[in-house]
Structure formats: structure tokens, C-alpha cells
A and B are shown apart, each in its own frame.
Chain A
Amino acid sequence: MSAGYKAVSWTRSKILYDVVLIAGIVAYITIFFRFGALPGPDGLSPDAPTLAMKAFGSCGFLLLTIVLAIGPLARLDRRFLPLLYNRRHFGVITCAIAASHASAALGWYFAFSDLPPLKALFAADTSFGQVSGFPFVILGVAAFLILLVMAATSHDFWLTFLGAPTWKSIHMAVYGAYALVVGHLALGALQDARSWVLPAVCAVSVVTLILLHLAAALSQNATDACIATASSPPWVVAGKLSAFAEGRAIVVHLADAEPVAIFRHDNMLSAVTNVCAHQNGPLGEGCVIDGLITCPWHGFQYRLADGCAPPPFTERIATYRLALDGDTVLLDPQPNPPGTYVEPIRVGSPVA
């Protein structure tokens, strides 16, 4: 048994998430139009189309920065995980803001000529051979296309249809989109910047994202350092027993295979794949509820010993063999076929 597709599977959390995000965007755009339209020291105020381009463009850039920060933040501090699980809504909304920016530019800078705006986009500026004066608009178009493909493939269907590796690689392109947007800004708006604010915001965005990703990678390496090192074949060292908390998992990253989640429950250890059979959710970030491994994404559950979802559900995941050497937990990296029973190993006295 499996859940049928819905247009959007709304939950109260998701509605709240979207409400907060849209409230932030409405606040941003409203304030931008209100403050931006005030006359400057020379008594002149910008016109509405220019304001719209700048408001939606800058908003899109900030949203892209935030959405890219969520991943490393959640790896550094689990409390950010709820932001991660609904990140697709964030991405779709960011794409909509980018579309508003694009449509404002198309309807103003690329309109009123004999060429259709979409053709004018590629005809108007073709000085590709120069750095200063490079057609920065093209970089924005490329970034928008990436965001569009990501938004268009954000529905659950695409994850199943394309398969997780393809889907993930498409969605990793968001980093390419961010780089293109930074180029779009650097060769466009920043060239004309008359104040330090926009360059500063750009620099803070780039530096923050680099630092967050470095910090997350370092903390990941610190965790990985003590695991997945070879022991006597076929075993690899999964970690010290003391590192396993009751009801939670430690994720073991293997060289050329899916990560493995090792759960401790009632002083027994069981190992299953880290990848949920529903939508590839990270089972190792889940916990044991009512004696069942529970995926943090959608709450899909599996039995610890055999990786089978409780009836009437039919999902099954791969299990792994474990062994104990003193206080070191060893893992056989060879997965068992999904649903294979493996006796959990006892690591202490049973809970009364």
C-alpha cells in the first residue's frame, strides 16, 4: 500500500511555513516600494517599473541565499531540520519571485520595440567578448531556467520518475544558479552601485554561505572520522558504543554505497539503510517511535529487525549485519535484501 499523489500534501506545519515565508516576502516588497519611492537628496524618486525590478530581484537573491543556508544550518544544528523538510516550497516561491523580476525587466527594458521581448532578450546585447559590459542579463536568464526546472520538478512524482540520483543532481544545480545570480549582480547592478549597501549585502551572502558550508563539511568530517574505517574484512568500524543514544541513530557513510543508519533501541542495535523507501528521506535523522524507525520527512515507519513497514503498508528497506568488539560497533557494509530479518545485537541489560 502506498499513498496516491496529491497536488500539494498540505499539513498545518507546511501551511504555517508558507504563511511565514509569504509574510516575509510581502513585508519586503511593501517596504521596498514605500521607502524606494521616497525622493532622494536631489528630489527625484525612481519610477514604479524600476522599483519592481529592484525589489523582486533583490528579494529573490536574499531568498536564494537563505534557502542555500538551510542545508548546512540543519547539519550544524538539528533544530533547523523543520526548515529543511519543507525546503521545496521555499524553492518554488523563490522561483516565483525570480519570475516577477524577469517579467518586470521583460515588460520594461525589453518591451516597446519591434522585436518580441523574448527575442529582444538575446538580440539586444551580444558583447560576449568583454568582461565589463558583458551581457549580464543572460546570466540571470540561465539562473532562472535552473530555478524553473527545479520548481517544475519539485513534485513527489519527479523524485520517483527520475530516480533519486538524477533528481538530486538536478537539484544540486541550485549552486550553479546561485553562482550565475552572483555573476548577474556583479556584472550588472554592482557596476552601477552608487552606495556600498548592495555590494556589502552581496559579499555577506557569498561569505556566509561559504563559511556555513565549510563549517558543515568540517563537522561532517569530524563525525565521519571515527566511522567507516576498515577492520578485519568484511567488517568496518561504525563507532564507539557510547556514541549511540537511545532511540536515535548514527549514520555511517560508506565509500561507494548508500549510508547506513544504526539505531539503538531498548539497548539493542539494528542497522538499516539510511534511505527511506518512500522518498529517500534520511532515516538516520529520524527516531524510534512505538518501537518503529520513523522517517523524519513523512513519518513512514519500519521495524528495526527486518526493515519492513508494519501492515498494511508494504515498503521494505535493506538491513545490515552488526557485531560488537569490546565497546566498538562493527558493521558489515554488504546490504541484505530489503526486509531480511537480522537479530539485533544486545549492548547492555534490557530495560525493565
Chain B
Amino acid sequence: MKDEFFIGWSNTPGRQTRAFMALVSTVLIAGLALLSAILSSTIRDPGHSLFGSSGLPQVVQDVTLAGTLTFDPYPIIMLPPDAMHPRGHGVLLTGEGKHGVAFDRAALEGARVEIKGFLLKRGTLDMLVVNGSPRKIAEPEAPGRPQSLGRWRIVGEICDGKCAAGGMSPGTGLAHKACANLCLIGDVPPVFVSSQPLEGQQFLVIADGRGRALDHRIRDFLAMRVALEGQIERRGDMLVLRTDLAHARRL
């Protein structure tokens, strides 16, 4: 069979060319459709993402929390004990978007306050996206002593608290490393997502060795499996890992 000559600019390719191109076109469209079905069906979401869903106004419900405000290592409101949380319940605080909260620390450290906002929840982790400023309802009191749980070596992933708490998906994993870094640059508190629950908790607050916020070096360890070592202490129902990032290892 003599091959047919095709000119790129021609309006009417020959019969053989038309037939072959019809075949190629069919294979292309069917192949893309099939690959799309296969690839898309393997996508898994690690958790409900509040901000990605179209029904944001419906799911967001404003709450008012009353408790003790602390700033180390990150802004946290400690709610008094109730039936569900006999030790009290710590809630991380953050602002809108990729911003933390900017409260007057000198005036509010240790004070009992009322804060409005909406809650992000994933597992045992709660984060309040604060709306407005906290209202002081009682003067600071002596802080409760944290309970030391000893020295631990734990494996898991450091994430921004907001997406780990269900703000945006995936919330964990390298794909959103830059996104999580931006949150941390904006002072959103990080959390440690442990691969094994520890004292019933999968999410831990992380601090430096002196119990304060971690510096920029944390960004080199974000969103991937890492092993961290340090003292773990319990504040209310929250676990806080005090770790020196110099000893952190990427796995």
C-alpha cells in the first residue's frame, strides 16, 4: 500500500490519513478519559477540609469560649474541666487566613478571657479561628503546674495547626509543605501529628527546649516524617513536646 502524502496546510487530507487520524483521535480521547477515571479514583482526602467545601457559611458556627489565656509556646485558651474533658481542654488560637493572633500579651497573659470565633476540629485537636479581640473577665491567676510525662522519642509529622485541624486539605504531606510554611511564617501555631497515639493523643503542641515558640528552623522539618526527642508535659488535656530541633531527624 502506497503511503499517502499529507500537507500540514491542506484542508482535505487523503482517505488513509483521515482514517488513521480518526483512529488516533479515538485512542487519544478514550485513553485520556480512562486515565482520568483511574487517577482520580485513587485520590484520598486525609480529613474533612472546612475551607475547601462549598458550604462554608453553613458549617461555620460561631462559638464563644471562656478560659485562661496563655502565650507559651503559642496562644492557647485553656477551658475549665467539664464532663468530656476532666483535665480541662486546651484550644489553639489563630487568626483568619494564614495569620496567627496578635493579642496584647502583657495585658492578657494568664488572664481569664472570653473569645469569639469558629472552631476547626480534627480528632482531639481543636483550634479556634478568632474573630475580634478577647474580653478579659478575670485577672491573671497563678498558672497550674504542668505534669511531666518524661523524655520521649516520637515519630510523626510537623504541620501547621490550622490545616492539621481540618482547615484545608490535605493538611498533611509534602504537597502542602509550602502552604504550611506560609502559615508558620504568619504565626499560625504548628502541631505535631504523631504516627502512634501517645497517652491517647495524636496531636501534640511543640515548643523549644525552654517551652517557647520554635524558630524558623522548624520549616526544614515540616510536612515530612521526622523523629523528635524531648520532654513531654501535660497541660490540661494537651500534650506539649519540648524539643531541641538540633536533634530532630528526617526519616
Contacts and interface: CB of A to CB of B under 8 A. Distances in A.
A and B touch in the complex (CB under 8 A): yes
B224 A24 contact: no
Contacts of A55: 36, 40
Nearest to B176: A109
A37 B218 CA distance: 33
Nearest to B181: A124
Nearest to A37: B40
Contact of A130 (B7, B33, B250): B250
A40 B32 contact: no
Contact of B7 (A189, A198, A298): A298
B181 A24 contact: no
Nearest to B11: A12
Given A40-B44, A86-B8, A114 B186 contact: yes
A50 B52 contact: yes
B67 to A, nearest CB: 27
Contacts of B99: 113-114
Contact of A47 (B3, B28, B49): B49
Nearest to A63: B32
Contacts of A110: 178-179, 182
Nearest to B223: A133
Given A109-B178, A132-B250, A198-B39, A296 B8 contact: yes
Contact of A35 (B41, B49, B250): B41
A287 B6 CA distance: 9
Given A11-B11, A110-B182, A124-B182, A38 B53 contact: no
Contacts of B38: 197
Size class of B's contact patch? 35 or more
A31 B28 contact: no
B234 interface: no
Interface residues of A, number: 85
A136 B97 contact: no
A25 B29 CA distance: 8
A27 interface: yes
B168 interface: yes
B219 interface: yes
B45 A130 contact: no
A78 B8 contact: no
B140 interface: no
Interface of B: 3, 5-13, 16-17, 20-21, 24-25, 28-29, 32-33, 35-49, 51-54, 97-99, 168-170, 173-179, 181-183, 185-186, 219-224, 250
Interface of A: 9, 11-13, 16, 20-21, 23-25, 27-29, 31-36, 38, 40, 42, 44-51, 54-55, 58-59, 62, 66, 78-83, 85-86, 108-110, 112-115, 120-121, 123-127, 129-130, 132-133, 135-137, 187-189, 191-192, 194-195, 197-198, 201, 281, 286-287, 289, 294-299
Closest 3 CB pairs of A and B: A47-B52, A85-B8, A36-B40
Given A27-B29, A27-B32, A44-B46, 7 more contacts: A13-B10, A31-B33, A58-B36, A79-B17, A133-B250, A137-B178, A296-B8
